[in-house]
Structure 1
Amino acid sequence: MPKYRTLLGGEMHDFGTLARLMAAATPPRSGDSLAGLAARTEVERVAAQMVLADLPLRVFCREALVPYETDEVTRLIIDTHDADAFGVVAHMTVGQFRDWLLSEAATGAVLARLAPGLTPEMVAAVSKLMRNRDLIAVARKITVKTAFRTTLGLPGRIGSRLQPNHPTDDLAGIAVSTLDGLVFGVGDAVLGVNPATDNIPTAMAILDMLEDLRCRHAIPTQTCVLTHITNSIQMIERGAPVDLVFQSVAGTEAANKGFGVDMSLLHEAHDAARSLDRGTVGQNVMYLETGQGAALSADAHHGVDQQTLEARAYAVARAVEPLIVNTVVGFIGPEYLFDGKEIIRAGLEDHFCGKMLGLPMGVDVCYTNHAEADQNDMDVLMTLLASAGVHFLIAVPGADDIMLNYQSLSYHDIAYLRNALGFRAAPEFEAWLEEMGFVDTAGALLPDAAPSRRLLEMAQ
């Protein structure tokens, strides 16, 4: 058993367990403090990072942070670990792994082959030793391509979820917000609605409206009503036009039980959606959502820090080959990520860890109104994520979700990333935008006049 201790500042720092070491090495965040897991001082944090840097990666193959016998997520991680793929880095310590990731030897192709050989705990550990710029530098090397009616994850492109939520699930209100977003070039990842009332009749009504809109205007994208996975399965059985099945997931079996889901149910939903064969350029049919603090808020964290548990949720996600995954990075509130600095750090960590594990990783760049954050912080995070090669971002009208009551990005923000920084939409969706007169041949939005006329025509 390794001894997780070191002498620093004239004091012996003994961390006892691997879970305690991982927590103490984590950059500051309010959730770990709330759980009593955070380093007590900056000196203790540095000491933990020193010990972690010298820890062999192989330790994570034999020492589980959450018991194998009682947690199906741990069993999934260990039982599906690809030892052959791991062989490339098996001789390294966590610190050596960090240095190698930042080297020219760790190309995108090499990292793609390595992904099945990495456990979530390994990528969480190395992220704790990295600066923000390191997280960006490594993540931008990695390309993860997924497809349904659009092809997502291609270099130089950023996908977007159009989120036209309405506080009363008014179909006309949802439709107007959807048309507004389409004019700004938003929606190539998904047209996705969170229903205010989570029941099957409401979900089917929204889904039918989105399907009619999509088919009437030949929009090459996919739709999703973010209802519970059991509702989606029943909707498929009733013949509803389900493109993507949505579900929130977490990094422990107990937390997933709180969401009303387990691995068996996820696989059942995946198979049901695939059976419809509705994709045109691919068959990735799952949309999964995560967020730091989910397990802690459910008292299902097993004494493990929230960022490591977030990475474990990505093992759940990659088991069902999703089209898109996103962390709702600041949604749970300041009890878990206190301010803009913590939200920015967490967003970069989550994106890095997801891509390292081979996931099509997006981010809901967001915060709640009682957090010490503002839209300037979100501007910084979305721009950093764009530089890091994020799979997709979420946008809502005016950056203000009036149903979920939180702040995200606006349709204008997606336009900024594409017009000012040169990023483009998914190729199939971009071709449609150009045909509609919303963008020019370089993918940049045209002046308001032409799109406004087309919007009026679409609204008829």
Structure 2
Amino acid sequence: MTSDFESTITGTRYSFDSLTEVLAKANEEKTGDELADIAADSAAERVAAKDALSRVSLATLRENPVIPYDEDEVTRVIQDAVDEDVYGKLREWTVSELREFLLAEETTEREIAEIRPGLTSEMVAAVAKLMSNLDLIQATSKMTVTARCNNTIGGEGTLSFRLQPNDPTDDIDNIRNSIREGLSYGVGDAVIGINPVEDNAEQTKRLLEITKEFIETWEIPTQNCVLSHITTQMEAVENGAPADLLFQSLAGTEAGNESFGIDVELLDEAYAFGEDECTAAGPNFMYFETGQGSELSSDAHAGVDQVTLEARCYGLAKRYDPFIVNTVVGFIGPEYLYDGKQVIRAGLEDVFMGQLTGISMGIDACYTNHIQADQNDIENLAVLLTAAGSNYFISVPMGDDTMLNYQSNSYHDAAALWDIFDVHPAPEFESWLEAMGIVEDGQLTEKAGDLTVFLDEPEEHLRQEGTQ
């Protein structure tokens, strides 16, 4: 019996039983797929799967989601969002033809934007699997996705940063000082976002209040967020907490989201709640985090590879028009991404897939101490993704988050990336940095890294710069 998905490589015929198997085995090497026993058994089989996948039509991918429509609400969200008119123009394209379209020199950003509504997450994942790292960078560099909360990120020539002032005891003084230091290095335009030690409404409210007070005192054009569970944040806001962004982790399957304590109904409720209660100017006020392998960690992967599941996270996120989506690419551990090579590949895949989906995409270029990676690996990833056009990165003091016990980009990495690529913070935020005397003519001044700037009264800085 002949399979619909087969390929012959160096005289050996490889046959695949399903589209889900082709997608899994066409994936670049990932320990998560190996752990799930769905990865290619050899490099030759991986090449064969890529060859078979290249000839699959977009219609086949649309008609065969990796989890059936009637079994999974994430599938339903993705499928129901497809613009049928746009899809009708693309349905006969093969995955190879989609790849060539994205990489063609003559293809414009506008033309890519025009096809987005006709794509499903399986299509987005499939084309990523046919691309080299350089292909992913080139294609991503053609795509601009902007979003606005209290400022605008993602514009051409900009690179934003989340200021992450986590503290292992939620000590308010330590958090404030970390905020001061980060701002003095010019970071914080994506969000000042705290991962709390305690996930309860009282502590969430407290942290939202101190960050909002700091933002308002210094008239900073940015947004605050505390990354507790979405229901905790809603309770805190109901109790009077000022939240610019509402946060939640997402998975690419219904079962995976159940393990996070969420479903589409709750996310819809949170979105409606945020429209009424968030303190941001908007219109974008949702913040999501994802990461390859999260579904496997909760035994909710349904036999699907982690790249395809990650793309489905973005398909779900798109429903809520988020301000930022962040892949914590090396945080979960070596069970899913073994070393720096796999982390770099996953980061490039994720930002590409997010941008192609049409969401404001950023990354935590990070690793944990038990993974085979080091600071050079994530600095390499930061350079590659700045070239690609990532909307933002996470930044933590000295690159070491002592609360979450992992390594990321540091506050001062931002200056190097801005300088190398001649990019800038969000325009409103950069104007504020100039008014504070932290930036002049696009360069950090001698005030950079001096958190004592923010120990004075605001009037001593802002008024003398003529902003009041």
TM-score by length of 2: 0.95
For 1:446, the equivalent position in structure 2 comes to 445
Query: Does 262-271 or 162-171 show the bigger shift?
Result: 262-271
For 2:456, the equivalent position in structure 1 comes to 457
Deviations 1:370-420 (A, max 9, x none): 111001011110011001110110000010000000001100111111133
Could you tell me how far 1:239 is from its partner in structure 2? Answer: 2.0
Could you tell me how far 1:452 is from its partner in structure 2? Answer: 5.5
For 1:396, the equivalent position in structure 2 comes to 396
For 1:414, the equivalent position in structure 2 comes to 414
For 2:119, the equivalent position in structure 1 comes to 118
Q: Which amino acid aligns with 1:232?
A: Q
User: CA separation of 1:458/1:267 partners in 2, compared to 1, >3 Å: closer, same or farther?
Assistant: farther
Q: Distance in 1 between the 2:446 and 2:202 partners? A: 40
Question: 1:292-307 to 2 correspondence within 5 Å?
Answer: 292-307=292-307
Count matched residues. Answer: 458
For 1:29, the equivalent position in structure 2 comes to 30
Tell whether 2:210 aligns with 1:209.
Answer: yes
Q: Distance in 1 between the 2:278 and 2:34 partners? A: 47
Question: 1:135-154 to 2 correspondence within 5 Å?
Answer: 135-154=136-155
Question: 1:239-388 to 2 correspondence within 5 Å?
Answer: 239-276=240-277, 278-280=279-281, 282-388=282-388
* Partner SS for 2:363: strand
* Partner SS for 2:440: coil
* Partner SS for 1:331: coil
Could you tell me how far 1:55 is from its partner in structure 2? Answer: 0.9
Is 2:62–2:122's contact at 8 Å kept on the other side of the alignment? no
For 1:184, the equivalent position in structure 2 comes to 185
Q: Distance in 2 between the 1:452 and 1:208 partners? A: 20
Q: Distance in 1 between the 2:321 and 2:108 partners? A: 23
Question: 1:124-139 to 2 correspondence within 5 Å?
Answer: 124-139=125-140
* Partner SS for 2:90: coil
Unaligned runs of 5+ in 1: none
Q: Which amino acid aligns with 2:315?
A: A
Q: Distance in 1 between the 2:450 and 2:199 partners? A: 34
Is 2:244–2:285's contact at 8 Å kept on the other side of the alignment? yes
Is 2:438–2:448's contact at 8 Å kept on the other side of the alignment? no
Deviations 1:27-72 (A, max 9, x none): 1011101110110011100110110011111101111211211100
User: CA separation of 1:407/1:112 partners in 2, compared to 1, >3 Å: closer, same or farther?
Assistant: same
Q: Distance in 1 between the 2:121 and 2:23 partners? A: 12
Is 1:5–1:51's contact at 8 Å kept on the other side of the alignment? yes
Which portions of structure 1, spanning 4 or more consecutive aligned residues, are displaced by more than 6 angstroms?
none
User: CA separation of 1:222/1:57 partners in 2, compared to 1, >3 Å: closer, same or farther?
Assistant: same
Tell whether 2:203 aligns with 1:230.
Answer: no
For 1:91, the equivalent position in structure 2 comes to 92
TM-score by length of 1: 0.97
For 1:82, the equivalent position in structure 2 comes to 83
For 1:107, the equivalent position in structure 2 comes to 108
Q: Distance in 1 between the 2:448 and 2:93 partners? A: 58
For 2:436, the equivalent position in structure 1 comes to 436
Could you tell me how far 1:277 is from its partner in structure 2? Answer: 5.8
Is 2:205–2:237's contact at 8 Å kept on the other side of the alignment? no
Is 1:438–1:450's contact at 8 Å kept on the other side of the alignment? no
Query: Does 5-14 or 317-326 show the bigger shift?
Result: 5-14
* Partner SS for 2:161: strand
Could you tell me how far 1:116 is from its partner in structure 2? Answer: 1.4
Is 1:85–1:114's contact at 8 Å kept on the other side of the alignment? yes
Could you tell me how far 1:7 is from its partner in structure 2? Answer: 2.3
* Partner SS for 1:319: helix
Q: Distance in 1 between the 2:112 and 2:13 partners? A: 37
Is 1:250–1:313's contact at 8 Å kept on the other side of the alignment? yes
Q: Distance in 2 between the 1:12 and 1:449 partners? A: 60
Q: Which amino acid aligns with 1:454?
A: V
Could you tell me how far 1:450 is from its partner in structure 2? Answer: 9.5
Q: Distance in 2 between the 1:364 and 1:69 partners? A: 34
Q: Distance in 1 between the 2:153 and 2:429 partners? A: 10
Tell whether 2:426 aligns with 1:426.
Answer: yes
Could you tell me how far 1:449 is from its partner in structure 2? Answer: 7.4
User: CA separation of 1:54/1:220 partners in 2, compared to 1, >3 Å: closer, same or farther?
Assistant: same
Q: Distance in 2 between the 1:439 and 1:301 partners? A: 46
Is 2:140–2:389's contact at 8 Å kept on the other side of the alignment? yes
Q: Which amino acid aligns with 2:37?
A: G
Is 2:16–2:22's contact at 8 Å kept on the other side of the alignment? yes
Q: Distance in 1 between the 2:217 and 2:357 partners? A: 38
Q: Distance in 2 between the 1:5 and 1:420 partners? A: 45
Unaligned runs of 5+ in 2: 461-468
Q: Which amino acid aligns with 2:409?
A: L
Q: Distance in 2 between the 1:10 and 1:113 partners? A: 41
